[in-house]
Amino acid sequence: MAQIQDQFHSSPHVREEQQHIQRQAHARRQPRTRHTQQQELFQQSAHQHREHQQHREPPLRESHPREPPPREYQPREQAQRQHQEEPQWKGERRRNSYQTRQRSSKFGSHPVPDIIVGGKYQLISRIGNGSFGELYRAIALQNDERVAVKLESSSVKHPQLPREAKIYSILRGGVGFPQIRHYGTEGVYNVLVLDLLGPTLEDLLNFCERSFSMKTTLMLADQILARVEYVHMNCLLHRDIKPENFLMGLGRQRTRVFMIDFGLAKKFYSPRTQQHISYNEKHDLVGTARYASMHAHYAEQGRRDDLESVGYLLLYFVRGFLPWQGIKADTRLQKYEKIAESKSNTPLTALCAGLPFEFYMYMKYCRTLHFAEQPDYMYLRQLFKVLFRNQNMLYDYLYDWVDMKMHGERERRQQRERQGERDRQRVKEREKTARHVCLCSYHQHKQRQHRQQRHQRERDREREQRLGQFLLSDK
């Protein structure tokens, strides 16, 4: 029994309780002050907290582990271990989740897919649409080189971007065609990376107040015909000749015309079988109705149709419009029918009225070609070259937009010079006015001094007179 009592008294709980009772008895014997009362309250609350901690039940074990701390606060070894233990599918899902984000561009805000094409190119802004897919401006991550990226959804029923990539590969090495940098699939997109080019001829036409001079039109005609000839040499038809598909280069190639957008291109000749495609009149329109040839509205297209579209394009450059522009109809099919009727009813003499005779000869030659007949490209290019020489023009690549820019810079320089001359004149006038004011102030000051001196002399004279009269009166 004594042993049990000794164990009881030696228990830490009992000792702590006895010490607490002794402190309370000692405190009752001491005088109670405000500081003593605060100290007692503090000790009592601490004692209650210790009792609560000792008798509290242990917490239940969580069924789910706690979330790890944020990645930036994890030690390096722990972060590496967690990355190694992360399932592979999770990383794949993160790499293949292509969300769109808003990015500001020159033409406003457009959703830009957040992807890195081929591990090299980051999309920056949207440029526009092509025949199929959308075109974006991108930057190379290694050397900051700017490129153009064309995207097409890989889920479309008839993807056209693979065909276009193949055509660019066929045309590789030709002058005036963008070089293909990369082609592949990124997530839900087919991607095609090309050289970045400058403005389209439609943009430049708007810049030049909706018409080109004869010199600019003839220089463009020579390059456009060269591009069409190279395409035909590779057994291909473009079938969508329009100003938006001809662009000027950038940098050292800013004077060169480039041909793009082969989404509607078609092979017209098979070197293996040595056969031309057959003529078929039951055919819908392929391309842009404004520049399409007469036969393209109802029949299969050939090389003659691309060349006829080039003729309409040149007339559009010189005049700024075509007679069948602005035609309205209830449906698109009716509109195409009215445009085809207008083309067939407009004689070439009226279409080329007021222009050099070479334009009429060009259009006449294109319309008299047979479907499978090979055009004489040299003859067509010589038509415009002879016209160029006969009009004493210089092939210096100074297009209208270049002249307008130079003229604008010259005008701005002259305006700055005139403004500087006006500023100098204004400064001279200000200095002259200041000198005049100074002279006037100086003369006024001198006149004031003369008046003061005259008044002083008069006062001295009067004083002397009064003094003389006073002396005379005293005598």
List all residues 6 or more positions away from 349 whose beta carbon is below 8 Å from its beta carbon. Answer: 360
List all residues 6 or more positions away from 265 whose beta carbon is below 8 Å from its beta carbon. Answer: 163, 164, 167, 231, 236, 237, 238, 239, 240
Tell me: pLDDT of 159 over 70.
yes
Tell me: pLDDT of 188 over 70.
yes
- Calpha distance 452→448 (Å, rounded): 6
Strands (E), 95-241: 100-105, 108-113, 116-117, 121-129, 134-140, 146-153, 180-186, 189-195, 236-237
pLDDT of 48 reads 62
Tell me: pLDDT of 320 over 90.
yes
pLDDT of 24 reads 67
CB of 150 within 8 A of CB of 192? yes
- φ, ψ of residue 248 in degrees (nearest 5): -90, 150
Q: Do domains 116-195 and 199-396 have the same CATH topology?
A: no
CB of 182 within 8 A of CB of 189? no
Running DSSP on this structure, what letter comes out for residue 200? B
Sign of the C-alpha dihedral computed for residues 355, 361, 362 and 367 taken in this order? positive
DSSP 36-99: HHHHHHHHHHHHHHHHHHHHSPPPPPPSSPPPPPPGGGS-HHHHHHHHHHS-HHHHHHHHT---
DSSP 261-311: --TT-EE-EETTTTEEPPP-SS----S-TTT--TGGGTS---HHHHHHHHH
425 vs 196, residue with greater confidence: 196
- Calpha distance 140→121 (Å, rounded): 4
Residue 294's CB: how many other CB atoms inside 10 A? 16
Band (154; pLDDT cuts 50, 70, 90): confident
User: pTM for this one?
Assistant: 0.66
pLDDT of 3 reads 52
pLDDT of 9 reads 53
- Calpha distance 92→100 (Å, rounded): 18
Q: What percent of the chain has pLDDT over 90?
A: 50
99 vs 242, residue with greater confidence: 242
Band (99; pLDDT cuts 50, 70, 90): very low
- Calpha distance 339→327 (Å, rounded): 7
- Could you list the active site residues? 240
pLDDT of 416 reads 77
Band (418; pLDDT cuts 50, 70, 90): confident
DSSP H or E stretch at residue 259: strand 257-259
Please tell me the number of Cα atoms within 13 Å of 306 on its side-chain side.
29
44 vs 127, residue with greater confidence: 127
Band (463; pLDDT cuts 50, 70, 90): confident
Tell me: pLDDT of 19 over 60.
yes
CATH of domain 116-195: 3.30.200.20
For all residues of the chain together, what is the average pLDDT?
82
Tell me: pLDDT of 429 over 70.
yes
Residue 315's CB: how many other CB atoms inside 10 A? 21
196 vs 429, residue with greater confidence: 196
List all residues 6 or more positions away from 64 whose beta carbon is below 8 Å from its beta carbon. Answer: none
pLDDT of 105 reads 43
pLDDT of 96 reads 39
Q: Tell me which residue of 197, 97, 211 sits closest to 147, measured CA to CA.
A: 197
- Calpha distance 336→429 (Å, rounded): 69
CB of 153 within 8 A of CB of 189? yes
Residue 338 labelled as part of a binding site: no
Sign of the C-alpha dihedral computed for residues 247, 336, 157 and 278 taken in this order? negative
248 vs 56, residue with greater confidence: 248
- φ, ψ of residue 153 in degrees (nearest 5): -65, 130
Tell me: pLDDT of 367 over 90.
yes
pLDDT of 442 reads 75
Query: Would you list the domain boundaries of the chain?
Result: 116-195, 199-396, 399-458
Written as six digits, the tokens of 167 are 């055509």
Q: Which residues of 449-464 are buried (b: 16+ CB within 10 A; e: fewer)?
A: eeeeeeeeeeeeeeee
Tell me: pLDDT of 345 over 80.
yes
**266-314 per-position pLDDT tens digit:** 999 998 899 999 998 878 899 999 999 999 999 999 999 999 999 999 9
CATH of 199-396, one of 1.10.101.10, 1.10.510.10, 3.30.1330.20, 3.30.9.10: 1.10.510.10
- Which residue bears the tokens 């005293």? 474
List all residues 6 or more positions away from 391 whose beta carbon is below 8 Å from its beta carbon. Answer: 214, 215
Tell me: pLDDT of 223 over 90.
yes
Tell me: pLDDT of 316 over 70.
yes
430 vs 186, residue with greater confidence: 186
DSSP H or E stretch at residue 204: helix 201-207
Tell me: pLDDT of 31 over 80.
no
DSSP H or E stretch at residue 257: strand 257-259
pLDDT of 415 reads 78
Tell me: pLDDT of 393 over 60.
yes
Q: What percent of the chain has pLDDT over 70?
A: 76
**pLDDT, average across residues 402-409:** 78
